[in-house]
Chain A
Amino acid sequence: MTPGPVAPARGAPRRRGLTERVIFLGPGLLYLVVFFLVPLAIIAGISFLERGRFGGIVFAPTLDNFARALDPIYLRVLTSSIGLALVTTILALFLGYLTAWGIARLPRRWRTIALILVVLPFWTNFLIRTYAWIVILNSQGPLNGALVGLGVIAQPLELLYTPGAVVAGLLYAYLPLMILPLYAAIERLDPELREAAANLGATPIRVFLTITLPQTLPGVIIGSIFVFVPSLGNFIVPELLGGGKLIMVGNLIRDQFLKARDWPFGSVLALAVIAALAVLLVVQAQVSRRTATTTAPGA
């Protein structure tokens, strides 16, 4: 609210304002600082410390943990995690964009229903959703049963415990989070811009690449963040659907904290995930600033 000469400030005299501020903002912010910021700070701090002999923490500042993270073994885990998360994100982007576009084309009433349908699975139990894929992909499961029955394959495929299964599980978990921001961006598009471009001689593909895609870019990035980062940090899907053969960063972190009890190293890995998130957020902020569209009033 920009104050013009007539703009009313929420005018209570200053003294009372302070008490009210404390009552409203105090509890919530305090809680978040203690139980959100402080834990993050502790993680950051621990990453610089040493692991004690029996699993505790020794206050000896070191950069060893960071060096260890660059060890080829761990680097491989990191890169394969990024790879899987990336594949998941790209698939989600492809499927999600088309779906969001489709929803935007629906009549108004159906749109709301479609959006609710898309969001509902997201609220259900994550384990159950992942478990459903165990059932489906099992060599005696419905998918194999259907493929054999249709004569596509002779023998059941070993679908479970493969990278494909992990990607499927991650995609299943986070696809709704890609669709929503994309839908929001697509819904805001001004069809006249596309028509103008077509009128000036652009082919549909050109129109898409030069007009539509750039304008929906902020939504694309937000959706990608919502899929990529959780995929990176996930350990349930790799464990249940990857069968322990596929270790991702999430599993590593889990193991360091609960099995190997190497908290400092686990913290470094967590920082890697946070770093990925931070980088993407910065990219997102830049992109949305640059693609702010100007539309004529009344458009």
Chain B
Amino acid sequence: MRRLGWLAVPLGATMAFLYLPMLVLVVMSFNASGTPYTWTGFTLGWYGELAGNAQILVGLVNTLIVATGATAGSVVLGTLLAIGLDRYVRRSILDALAIGPAIAPDIVMAIGLLALFATLGMTLGLHSVLLAHIVFGTALVAAVVKARLGHTDPSLEEASRDLGATATETFFRITVPTLAPAIVAGALLVFTLSMDEFVIAFFTNGPSTPTLPIVIYSMVRFGVTPEINALATILLLLTFTIVIAAQRLTGLGGSAE
């Protein structure tokens, strides 16, 4: 445990840099003035306006649909993939494939998927966004679950079989429950990412079913509007809660287990 010393300055500066902008938004969301540059009083009015904004609500509903579906699909594919990679795969090329979508630049994936859908003659809509989100969602869940598998005792499954359980029983009674915290953490992270994801959704979505980030984008392009501050605050709060919950489950700080 060394002294922090002068390093406290860059550390503090970084934290300030990362959080002040968000703090500004939060503060502004309670600002009664129309332009967020002068403070005229505390109000919850913008939140009310937010609730009445049909465009935002539609975007929210669409986003929730996609996020829920993406989470479900990613959890199934990703968990199975992680178990398969951990058990059967020695060569790293399949590992690289499994993590690829997480590393590839999102604009590349976006145009690639657009090209794929065009080639297949598919119409674009929420379903295409869903398919797209499952790609990186699967990679993410697979990574989280695989990391957890690295710490699990491989004898557990053998013990189960030794005690008389078939392979299927072992999977549902032992394997999945043991991995449950990692699976849930992965699900939470995919949900969050999908809700916030813009670039891929932008390219693969149809014109009539915007997701929330796309709605935000069109609003932001025209400048600053107060409802966005309120929306931003809510989204920030939501994301914080989810990510901290996910961290608890994977025990970054050594809590779970």
**Residues of chain A having any CB pair with chain B under 8 Å:** 10, 12, 16-17, 20-21, 23-25, 27-29, 31-33, 35-40, 42-43, 46, 95-96, 98-99, 101-103, 105-107, 109, 112-121, 123-136, 138, 140-142, 145, 172, 175-176, 179, 229-230, 232-236, 239-240, 250, 253-254, 257-258, 263, 266-267, 270, 273-274, 277
Contact = CB atoms under 8 A, between A and B. Distances in A.
Interface in B143-189: 154, 167, 189
Contacts of B134: 31, 35
A123 B239 contact: yes
Nearest to A232: B105
Contacts of B103: 277
Given A23-B80, A229-B105, A230-B105, A134 B235 contact: no
A233 B97 contact: no
A178 to B, nearest CB: 10
A292 B51 CA distance: 56
B56 interface: no
Interface of A is mostly: helix
A24 B115 contact: no
A21 B18 contact: no
B1 A107 contact: yes
B2 to A, nearest CB: 5
Contacts of A254: 107
B28 interface: yes
19 contacts: A20-B167, A28-B81, A29-B97, A35-B116, A98-B11, A102-B7, A113-B253, A124-B22, A124-B239, A131-B216, A131-B228, A132-B21, A133-B21, A235-B107, A236-B199, A253-B111, A273-B107, A274-B104, A274-B108
B69 interface: no
A290 to B, nearest CB: 19
B21 A136 contact: yes
A123 B198 CA distance: 13
Contacts, number: 263
Contact of A42 (B77, B115, B224): B115
Please indicate which of the listed interface residues A29, A96, A176, A179 has the most CB atoms of chain B within 10 Å of its own CB. Answer: A29
B224 A31 contact: no
B26 to A, nearest CB: 10
A292 B196 CA distance: 38
A266 B244 CA distance: 39
Interface string B228-257: 110110011001101110010000111000
A138 B232 contact: no
A65 B229 CA distance: 43
A135 B132 contact: no
A35 to B, nearest CB: 5
A46 B115 contact: yes
A119 B243 contact: yes
B45 interface: no
Contacts of B10: 95, 98-99, 102
B221 A240 contact: yes
B101 A36 contact: yes
A136 B114 CA distance: 34
A105 B4 contact: yes
Contacts of A107: 1
B217 interface: yes
B64 interface: no
Contact of B115 (A39, A117, A142, A176): A39
Contacts of B77: 27-28, 31
A27 B135 CA distance: 12
B216 A127 contact: yes
Contacts of A142: 24, 37
B160 to A, nearest CB: 13
Contact of B216 (A43, A118, A128, A230): A128
Given A35-B132, A43-B112, A266-B111, A120 B240 contact: yes
Contacts of A12: 167
Interface string B75-114: 0111011011101110000100110110111111101111
B126 interface: no
Interface in B1-57: 1-5, 7-8, 10-11, 13-15, 17-19, 21-22, 24-25, 28, 35-37
